[in-house]
Structure 1
Amino acid sequence: MKHLPTLVALAACTTGLLAGCGTTQEPTDAAQTPQPESDQTEASPQADPADPFQALHVNMVAQSGTYFPDGVDGISFGCSDTLVTISTVPAHADSPQEHVAAAIQFLINDSQYYHGSPAVTNSLTLSETLELDDVQVGRNSVDIALSGDVVAQSQCEAHRIQAQLYGTAASTSGIEDISITVNDDELNTVLGLEPFDTAQLLAADGS
């Protein structure tokens, strides 16, 4: 069963959360998952890679046609949607593997599709049986193994799932070469899509 604190800001930018946005609150279990930053938080400087407490960088989607009064920064993909990177409060991780695993788990555990008003969305919420089995972070590559079923109810949702997972792994690790498998098949193949361009995301993030 999925449990995740509600994300408490929206509009979002590629480095943090902007002020002045409403949220839709639901009951949460705050003890299990790192909390997102306050909606009063501005972009923070690059974290020290040696610091065991670092923010998770999770990707959400501003769907095509969503209007943000202060604008929203990110990369365009799929169905003219925008992928935005949202930073949580710092979470403890003893290794790069744990840091990436926590960010991916954050998305998988999320039970709320819409966050904020105007809203960004998390298309992973429908994949209720999806589980994170393993994360390996090398010098130049990240390998993530998932199991279960990926649920994409449309081609646009397939693009969003792909962008969120590959993007979150790349944003958190700072590494461009990302492999994600579901039941031993590459996620790109499972979704029937061409590979996601993580280089474009890292350039936008300033990595």
Structure 2
Amino acid sequence: MRTFPALAACAASALLLAGCGTFQDNTGTDNTDGSSGQQAQPTVDPDDDFQPLAVNMVAHSGTHFPNGVDGAIFGCSDTLVSVSTVPIEAETPEEHTAAAIEFLLDDSQYYHGDPAVTNSLTLSETLELSNIEVDGDEVNVGLTGDVVIRGECEAYRIQAQLYGTAASTAGTENVNITVNGTELDDVLGVDPFDTSQVFARDAE
């Protein structure tokens, strides 16, 4: 497997959320189109090495969003939503996926926006990305450190964020994630996450 020594360790921590394709952004960036009030998606040149990251965060069950929120329902009836960041330079699928995972790991802010989506990885301060490999239709992610689990619902959120982000960024449902050599699902004590949910809306 290809090892990434703190890829974008400083860049990922400096990234700002640029908006979300599923609900009104409250991070200070105006990405709406004036006529509908819906989020306007940025135009991305597929040949440009600078691309926004699509990271997955969680809208807790019962959270009300004025314009609604779309995403996969999982765990404790929470919703997994895709949030875009400002563009980051990444030349390969490994670098792009690594940067997305490291964004979640380096993020120090649990709540984002109002109403808020959350990042449960902020609790696991020693968790680090040690290696990643995108091989055809499979992505393998190796993490080291300790996963901090604050209840069953947080375990599901950590699982969904990591598997969902790796799947959507690498563009494959086949995702393997380990922590210190042990499957993440076993570390969390939860059943496997169905990554096909991440792509279900695209197929509609």
TM-score, normalised via structure 2 length: 0.84
Q: Residue 53 of structure 1 aligns with which residue? A: 50
Question: Is 1:79 aligned to residue 89 of structure 2?
Answer: no
Letter in 2 for 1:170: A
Q: Residue 18 of structure 1 aligns with which residue? A: 24
Q: Residue 7 of structure 1 aligns with which residue? A: 17
The Cα shift of 1:5 comes to 4.8
Residue pair 1:134, 1:145 contacting (<8 A) in 2 also? yes
Count of aligned pairs between the two proteins: 187
Question: Is 1:124 aligned to residue 121 of structure 2?
Answer: yes
Residue pair 2:17, 2:27 contacting (<8 A) in 1 also? no
After superposition, give the CA deviation of every residue in 1:40-83 in whole Å (9 maximum; x if it has no partner). 252246762x5322211100000001000011111100000000
Q: Residue 97 of structure 1 aligns with which residue? A: 94
Q: Residue 179 of structure 2 aligns with which residue? A: 182
Distance 1:205 1:107, change over 3 A: farther
| DSSP-derived class of the 1:201 partner | helix
After superposition, give the CA deviation of every residue in 1:159-190 in whole Å (9 maximum; x if it has no partner). 00000000000111111100000000010111
Gaps of 5+ in 2: 1-8, 33-39
The Cα shift of 1:84 comes to 0.1
How do residues 108-147 of structure 1 correspond to structure 2 at under 5 angstroms? Answer: 108-147=105-144
Letter in 1 for 2:103: F
Q: Residue 35 of structure 2 aligns with which residue? A: none
Q: Residue 43 of structure 1 aligns with which residue? A: 41
Percent of paired sites with the same residue = 57
Letter in 2 for 1:13: G
Alignment partners' CA distance in 1, 2:108 and 2:27: 18
Residue pair 2:57, 2:80 contacting (<8 A) in 1 also? yes
The Cα shift of 1:94 comes to 1.6
| DSSP-derived class of the 2:191 partner | coil
Alignment partners' CA distance in 1, 2:82 and 2:203: 12
Alignment partners' CA distance in 2, 1:13 and 1:136: 27
Question: Is 1:155 aligned to residue 152 of structure 2?
Answer: yes
Residue pair 1:6, 1:112 contacting (<8 A) in 2 also? no
After superposition, give the CA deviation of every residue in 1:103-125 in whole Å (9 maximum; x if it has no partner). 00000000010011000000000
How do residues 160-179 of structure 1 correspond to structure 2 at under 5 angstroms? Answer: 160-179=157-176
Distance 1:22 1:97, change over 3 A: closer
Letter in 1 for 2:179: V
Residue pair 1:13, 1:72 contacting (<8 A) in 2 also? no
Residue pair 2:31, 2:41 contacting (<8 A) in 1 also? no
TM-score, normalised via structure 1 length: 0.82
Alignment partners' CA distance in 1, 2:167 and 2:177: 11
Distance 1:175 1:115, change over 3 A: same
Residue pair 1:171, 1:205 contacting (<8 A) in 2 also? no
